[in-house]
Amino acid sequence: MIHSLNFKQTDDHGNEWSLNDFSFGKINLIAGRNSTGKSRTLNVIAGLGGLVAGERTIAPTQERFEAHFTDGAQKIDYFLEYKESTVRKETLTIDADELLQRSDKGEGLIYAEELKGKIKFQVPEKSLACVVRRDSIQHPYFQSLYNWGSCVRRYEFGSQLGKNHIALFGKNEENSSLNPLNIKETNNVVAFFKRGIKDCGRDFIDLILNDINGIGYQIDEIGVGPVQTVKIEGIDSVTPEGIFIKEKGHSHRVEQNEISQGLFRAISLFIQLRFSEKFSEPSLILIDDIGEGIDYERSGALIHAIIGIAKISNVQLIMTTNDRFVMNNVPLEYWSVLERDGGRCSVLNYRNSKTIFDEFEMTGLSNFDFFSSQYYAGKIID
């Protein structure tokens, strides 16, 4: 789980954009006005995840990350700085023991498990040592960082969330959309659902059905089946499939392309969150503009449901919003208020300003009033 993050990006003209001492809990809501950096913050976190998982190459920019994680009882500190796609500094410290120290020429010292000591090493200047030196025998301590990065998932709630993606399933499952199943392919919601049904049976269907009806919809049936409106010519062994529902009081199926966008967004999130819960997939879920496109009552119910799932699973949840209805449905203890002064972003939350939040709760005003009145004005932590 990511515990805190500092980040700075410098462009070709010397202009900086930075996040300063952003601390996170298991459940987080980033609130802020337009253009304060909410979406950009999620991009930074997702970008770091892609780097340490080896899924993303180093950008031709100048950036610096200082990230702190917890993995059980372990405290993991990772520092990375690069410029023009070349790493200038990279360090990894676990429980105050520095296990990796690397300079701008790719040279450094790394702890070797078999030798019980540090050895010299060199890697390409444009590669991360935590990626190219990952080794379960000599350097097993890189695994936690890799596991975290490989499980970061980012959702644009205002997007299709997989509604425009069907899945192809054949008689030979080895050639179907189920294999392999990458949890980062967030548009592949049909395959997630079918895999859940395959491994958990009717229980997984009932779980999703209860989630959907719990936020105000009236659905009798939900499943995965052939898409009647899509035909693939010349390939008899492959069937296009999508999600369908049956609404209460109606006998016909509503296919995926006919499901309302707001309902499908909720379905997609529930399927992927429940997949993580059922299969014990540790994940960092990033959701931008949570609740967009859903009416007030269902938006509130959806957020409560998502928080409830995060509480009982291995999921860490970070959401963003500037919507008053969303703010009023998320307890202040989960809030992080983001403020931007030029290119410098600062954050105020329950972890660094408990007294301010406790004082406000005594006023009896709504959560949105905390934001709209700028009750916290002048109290943002540097």
pLDDT digit string, tens, across residues 218-261 = 999 999 999 876 666 555 567 789 999 999 988 899 999 999 99
Q: Among 100-114, 202-216, 224-238, which is the least confidently predicted range?
A: 224-238
For residue 362, pLDDT over 80 is answered with: yes
pLDDT at 175: 45
Q: Which of the four pLDDT bands, split at 50, 70 and 90, describes residue 179?
A: low
Q: What secondary structure letter does DSSP report for 175? A: G
Write the single-letter amino acid at 351: R
Q: At CA 145, angle to CA 143 and CA 147, rounded to 5?
A: 65
Q: Which of the four pLDDT bands, split at 50, 70 and 90, describes residue 363?
A: confident
For residue 382, pLDDT over 70 is answered with: no
Write the single-letter amino acid at 276: S
* Average pLDDT value for residue range 374-378: 70
| Packed helices 261-278 and 202-214: angle between N→C axes, nearest 10 degrees | 130
Q: Mean pLDDT for the chain? A: 90
* Average pLDDT value for residue range 74-99: 96
Note if the pTM is more than 0.85.
Answer: yes
pLDDT at 378: 53
Q: Report how far Cα 38 is from the mean position of its chain's Cα atoms.
A: 13
Alpha-carbon distance of 36 to 374, in angstroms, equals 14
* Average pLDDT value for residue range 262-284: 88
pLDDT digit string, tens, across residues 186-207 = 899 999 999 999 999 999 999 9
* Average pLDDT value for residue range 127-149: 95
Give the DSSP H or E segment for 309: helix 296-312
Which of 143-152, 178-187, 284-293 reaches the highest mean pLDDT? 143-152
pLDDT at 234: 53
Domain boundaries, the chain: 2-151+282-372, 167-264
Alpha-carbon distance of 125 to 148, in angstroms, equals 23
* Average pLDDT value for residue range 155-178: 75
Helix segments in 17-133, DSSP class H: 38-52, 129-132
pLDDT at 90: 98
For residue 126, pLDDT over 90 is answered with: yes
pLDDT digit string, tens, across residues 302-341 = 999 999 999 988 899 999 998 888 888 899 999 999 999 9
DSSP string, 225-287: EE-TT---TT-TTEEEEEEEEEETT--S-EEGGGS-HHHHHHHHHHHHHHHHHHTT--EEEEE
CATH class of 2-151+282-372: alpha beta
pLDDT digit string, tens, across residues 11-56 = 887 889 999 999 999 999 999 888 899 999 999 999 999 999 999 9
